[in-house]
Structure 1
Amino acid sequence: MKRSASLWIVFLMVLSLVPAAKFASALYGTKVIDGNLGDWGTLDLVAKDKLGYGVDGGNLSSLYVSYDDQYLYIALEANNKANWGMAYGIGIDVDPDSGNGYTGTSDAWGRSISFSGNYAIDYELYTWWDDSQAKPTVEGQENVAFLPWVGDHWEYKTIGEVGGSFGWSGDSSVGLKTLEIKIPWNAIGGKTNKIAVIVWVTGGEGSAVDALPESSVVKDNPNEWGDTDYFTDLAEIYIVPKTIDGDLSDWAGYEVVGVSNLDGPDGADLDKLYVSYDEQYLYVAITTNNTASWGVVYGFGFDGACLVSPPVI
């Protein structure tokens, strides 16, 4: 009995030392498209700059993805130090691992960008940051292009023409700061089980100089502006509810909200804490590093006041 009590105390101590993830909302949730990313949270963050790639006028820092029943939401954040004319592209693979989609060497805006591995892009979105107007443009007008791959060519539309919208922030000193876009599910073939997303920044021609998720292909050539980049790493996002079966293969890395940095007891050694939710349920999962089977109690605590948009528990 004494050992059980002490293990419960140790378990609580480990949880208390897990880095807390303060979030406004998780993966499922409607976003306000206004260029302000204050309503995007930790669980919406699917890729972040850690390696310091990019250039002064094209430096991506964060990629966010969220969704609700009607829309897919994508946002990017840049950490630019200069106001350059640059193209920002987003690729969406609605059926990863299928091989369906674009895999050529000249993408929707003629940049030397391609995809391989498990990914072939079905839709691209593009905008040109016009440094003279200090705003995102398509053919000189404030806009974002929506570009479906239809088997042998790209179709050219704007995001508004398919029922979506965009918001942004930026200025004439540092260029683009944020860009957020909402895309109707029916514009990309309907709500699917899983999608893959990538964002990149490039110039008036040539290849990418930065991308999220991070990829070494943006730094693999002394003439990086002029080579061809083949992206093989995209952020995969599960749209369907979690399957509660003890198998965490349908959980993604961005759903990890805490990692224990303690070496716990053999039979009570926590590893990771996962959190996600959809329109009906809050999902919580843990993994352990246990090397022994002990009789211990695993507890979860919830502060409902800190949850902005999840359903009632």
Structure 2
Amino acid sequence: MIDFKETKRVSVAPMIDWTTSHYRTFARLFNPHIYLYTEMISTGAILKGDAAHHLRFFDNEPPLVLQLGGSSPTELAQCAKLAQEYGYTEVNLNVGCPSDRVQFNKIGACLMAEAHLVADCVKAMQDACSLPVTVKHRIGIDEFDSYEFMRDFVGAVANAGCNHFIVHARIALLNGLSPKENREIPPLRYDDVYRLKQEFPELFVEINGGIKTLDEIKTHLTQVDGVMIGREFYHNPMLLGWCNELWGESVPSHQEIFEKLLILLENFEKNGTPLTQVMRHYLGLFQGLTGARKWRQSLSGQKSLSLSQIEKAGMAVLALNADG
């Protein structure tokens, strides 16, 4: 086991339509230490829509970070203030999403080309609340793909008071690649993120992109302060459980998690939430076990689901793996 300092951390990346409150409360069953993020929520959705719908969360979710999409310092400040009122742990500004839809609204990775605007946004958010304000960004965009470009971006935003940066270790190609392709095609450049930490030792630098195993997490934590993982945590949530080793704690069994999940689902059902609406978030529970595919097939795409159906499907998987 590595010497895992309290200042180090592991996070679940914000993912639109995936890191909903129903997913996050499930993820928390595996690990009490990992930081959870909301989906990216635009400032307009919060300020012009139903703020409570977007911002409320379950009691077991913190430490929880609200990720905001926006580029208006005034609007971001208002949302940061709301984040504090609702009880979030931190607030994060998205400067990494490559979607053309958010670019049109001047949200996400396109903001890397306007470091001073990002700095103004961070300063306004900090002035509006006492929560830590962090920035998630790429290592570059389009032709601005040099290490020096990222270094200067971070330096300008750090001068505004931000001391925590989450770096997706790929550039974003804003014209020609889809968001999915931007997660896969540009090559990973972990060394650039390591170098950033070396040049800014006073900053908290968290690395993101292509990380899939506990051993990889441990390796990155020898170079930077934190690791953020998205889809692997979602599709293989037991990795969250295995991360307990970093804190010297035991790993929960699939049986223990499944029993807690049934209680969670029972509470959802009592509150009027259809199980078909939330079950998609839990299909990865038995990833890697015998019977996992049948679990997914029997519970996905159903018009209706009962708690007894889910319990029966889960117990069948556990029975197949009783000696494992």
Q: Which has the higher helix share?
A: 2
Q: Please, what TM-score do these two structures have when normalized by structure 1?
A: 0.27
Structure possessing the higher radius of gyration over alpha carbons: 1
Q: Please, what TM-score do these two structures have when normalized by structure 2?
A: 0.26
Of structures 1 and 2, the one with the larger relative CO (CA 8 A, separation 6+) is 1
Q: Which has the higher strand share?
A: 1
